[in-house]
Amino acid sequence: MDYRNKLVLAPMVRVGTLPFRLLAVQYGADITYGEEIIDHKMVKCERHVNESLGAIDFVERGTNSVVFRTCCEERDRVVFQMGTANAVRALTAAQIVCKDVAAIDINMGCPKSFSISGGMGAALLSNPELIHDILTTLRRNLDTVVTCKIRLLNSSQDTIELARRIEKTGVSALAIHGRRVKDRPRDPAKWNEIADVVASLSIPVIANGDVFEYEDFGRIKDATGASSVMVARGALWNASIFCAKGKSSWEDVKREYVRKCILWDNDIKSTKHTLKEMITHYSSLELAEGKAVIKSETTADLATIYGEEEYYHFVTSNRP
């Protein structure tokens, strides 16, 4: 994995599944992060080759629950992001999936209560010894690239000190969300503090925060000196943000997403969640489209809403 001059899809829970990752790649993303998967969940999984879809599934033992789905097409660009607070368990989980992904990333920035309460995500920011233990354990025992994603700490100097400690573990890159844990999405990202970290490290830094148009990729790179740029909400609202020629229409992007969900048999709850997030930004769930998506119970229902019935029947009737 080369982390220089790349456009990166950020990890997003319930959004960053295989169809959305491939959608982002179609529009120009170079690297895509999957949604955060908790180590406890991954260690219960077995690897299955899904010949019907041409996919690789990591399925929770004793269930039909697909925890992570990938495919050969994204092998060299997909990053498996993990939530963990235990080095040994993190290694066990990583060993299950590492041969099918381009890199393993440790989430150290999620401020949600489900992560923090388990000592994961942003809770790790206040535990540098555990960070060191997790990252060095992975680096010593895996041939796969290892990275991590953090948020800003209370002061720029604190962030720099932590970033330097992370760099010493031998990780290949560091992604930084330019907000603190207490900040809300509406608060402006602090690009100047990302720049302070970039100036203090020799490994590639991926800058994340307030990228909503293609031009913002260049703006944040110029402002921070970062090697690459990561986008979350801007891509969620319209995945064609990665396209240098300009965004595709919102309607076309939604239909293309639905087609990919049909092709890869995406979980209906995940598909509906992502569509609702797309709709909410530009419209309202109270209008006809939003109500129809909420009422839908199957991918076939969504195909009907978005005029993709013929494609749905073609794909599903030709599966082995």
- Residues marked active site are found at 110
Instruction: Provide CB contacts within 8 A for 202, sequence distance 6+.
Output: 167
Residues for the chain: how many in total?
320
Alpha carbons 196 and 212: distance in angstroms, whole number: 23
Query: Which residues sit opposite 145 in a β-bridge?
Result: 103
Q: How far apart are CA 149 and CA 8, in angstroms?
A: 13
Asked if 224 contacts 207 with a C-beta cutoff of 8 angstroms, the reply is yes
Pick from 137, 48, 46: nearest CA to 84: 137
How far is residue 306's CA from residue 233's CA, in Å, rounded to a whole number?
A: 22
Asked whether 197 and 208 are in contact (CB, 8 A), the reply is no
Exposure b/e, 199-236, CB count within 10 A at least 16 = b: ebbebbbbbbbbbeebebbeebbebbebbbbbbbbbbb
299-305 contacts, C-beta under 8 A, 24 or more apart: 299/261, 299/262, 299/265, 299/266, 299/268, 299/271, 302/258, 302/261, 302/268, 302/271, 302/272, 302/275, 303/258, 303/262
Using DSSP's 3-state secondary structure scheme, residue 106 falls into strand
Distance from C-alpha of 245 to C-alpha of 266, rounded to nearest angstrom: 29
Residue indicated by tokens 């354990």: 137
